[in-house]
Structure 1
Amino acid sequence: MRSDASQNSASRETKGFIMLRGAMVMISFRESLFDAANRAGMTPNEFCLQAAAEKLRASGRQFAGVFAPGDTDTDRGGAN
């Protein structure tokens, strides 16, 4: 469980925009991405950002969360 100090710090972190531009991908990848995002109840952009967060966490990067503080914590019962 996180300490009170880290919770207070994370709750004060502000949100910021991330401007992603379209990319050309193979249609089979696009279909797989849209299907997986739909099954997860996310937009394809949210799904990609969550996947990027998981990769960043796995490489040792630390950040409060993706969409809200704490939404990438390993102790929340799901994947990073």
Structure 2
Amino acid sequence: MRSDVTTKTDMRETKGFLMLQGAKVTSSFRDTLFDAANRAGMTPNEFVLQAAAEKLAASGRHFSGLFNPGDLDSARGA
């Protein structure tokens, strides 16, 4: 479902904070992550969360969106 076709229920969905602890990764992974996020025009946190959402959607999990209802087409099985 596209974001311009969200339902009233989706629009009322509440948002919540996601507190994650820091993780140690190799410097090459960190550099690659930051570069990819920059090229995508988002923060590394947004990039990682979008990747997690895409993986959850691919595994059959259903949710209305990532940052806003309907903003992740693959979450709707599209």
Give the TM-score taking structure 1 as reference length: 0.83
Q: 2: distance between equivalents of 1:53 and 1:10?
A: 17
Two-structure CA RMSD over aligned residues (Å) = 1.6
With a CA cutoff of 8 Å and minimum separation of 6, indicate the structure with the bigger relative contact order.
Answer: 2
- The equivalences for 1:1-80 within 5 A come to 1=1, 7-74=7-74
With the length of structure 2 as denominator, give the TM-score of the two structures.
0.85
Cα distance in structure 2, aligned partners of 1:26 and 1:50 = 21
The runs of 4+ residues in structure 1 deviating greater than 2 Å are none
Count residues in correspondence. Answer: 72
Any stretches of 5+ residues in structure 1 without a counterpart? Answer: 75-79
**SS of 1:67 mapped into structure 2:** coil
In structure 2, runs of 5+ residues without a counterpart are none
Deviation, 1:48, is: 0.2
